[in-house]
Amino acid sequence: MQQTPSPRRAPIVAPRQALAEDGPLVEGREFVWSDADFSRIKALIYKKAGISLHDGKHAMVYSRVSRRLRETGHASFKTYLDWLEQHDGAEWQEFINALTTNLTAFFREQHHFSILSELLAAKRTQSWRIWCSAASTGEEPYSIAITATEALGASGTFQIVNSDIDTKVLATAARGIYKSEGVKGLSQEQLQRHFMRGKGTNAGFMRVKPELQKHMEFLTVNLIQDLPFREPFDVVFCRNVMIYFDAATQRQVLERIHRVMKPGGMLFVGHAENFSDARNLFVLRGKTVYERV
């Protein structure tokens, strides 16, 4: 009896991977991604914004910059980066916006605001100039403004200049509108005094009152370029910014900040930042608080 042959099975073939110029595409990615692409992006963002990316940021960079490929209609990182380097237009700002990290909250690192309050209250009659150099979406600037209002009283005089390199988050900060669940860290008294609760189609949102916003100015500033300020500041907040710079860039930025501060002015930095090697510029006066020499 002739035996019926078993059906032939197709050979198992591994999924084909698209190859980049110097390495394989990770399976499932939309665009070819290579070490060369990462190196080019790393060099460009360092040149434009001083941001130092380490090799562990491959996934983050791919995810964020691939959005720019979709928006601009490019089929590869190479063609996008070639085009970017040949043009001096608005896309450079979008490229920078894509690679900046914005993590913030109202009254984050509370001890800084207690120190600021004591500093301001000790000289209530002084006209204060404060610079928030990484305003992000505005939670930090408005926390500073609330602190200043409470410390100085109704007759207090202060101006807060708020800057960021990311134009999109800065626009959010200037609007001063937040979801109700996003105003954690504020007391009910602070909410009632400084915010308006949305109604109707705006239900679920809170808006900063004009009385607080009148003290605020918003502008785009790149910390690795010459700073645009003519009048010196009494207080500068530059928190959790320096961690994205290498040592040489940190020093350059500190020197720029030093030049736009009054002697004896106070610099507030992030909990992971230490500038003990810049004692000729700033002297430590408290937990992550430095005095301008």
The single residue of 37, 164, 166, 234 carrying the catalytic annotation is: 164
Q: For Cα atoms 288, 149, 153, give the angle at the middle one, nearest 5 degrees.
A: 120
Question: From CA 67, how far away is CA 71, in angstroms rounded?
Answer: 6
Comparing CA positions, the residue from 30, 34, 105, 108 lying closest to residue 66 is 30
- Residues 6+ away with beta carbon under 8 Å from 193: 209
Q: Please, what is the angle between helix 35-49 and helix 77-86, to 10°?
A: 30
| Angstrom distance (rounded) from CA 242 to CA 269 | 8
Residue 47, Cβ neighbours under 10 Å: how many?
Answer: 10
Q: Which of 64, 108, 207, 256 is catalytic?
A: 64
Active site residue 234: no
To the query of whether residue 88 is one of the catalytic residues in this protein, the response is no
Point out which residues pair with 281 in neighbouring strands. none
Residue 3 Cα distances to 6, 21, 52, angstroms? 9, 51, 69
Joined together, the tokens standing for residue 285 give 């006066």
Distance CA 130, CA 38 (A): 37
Active site residues per annotation: 64, 164
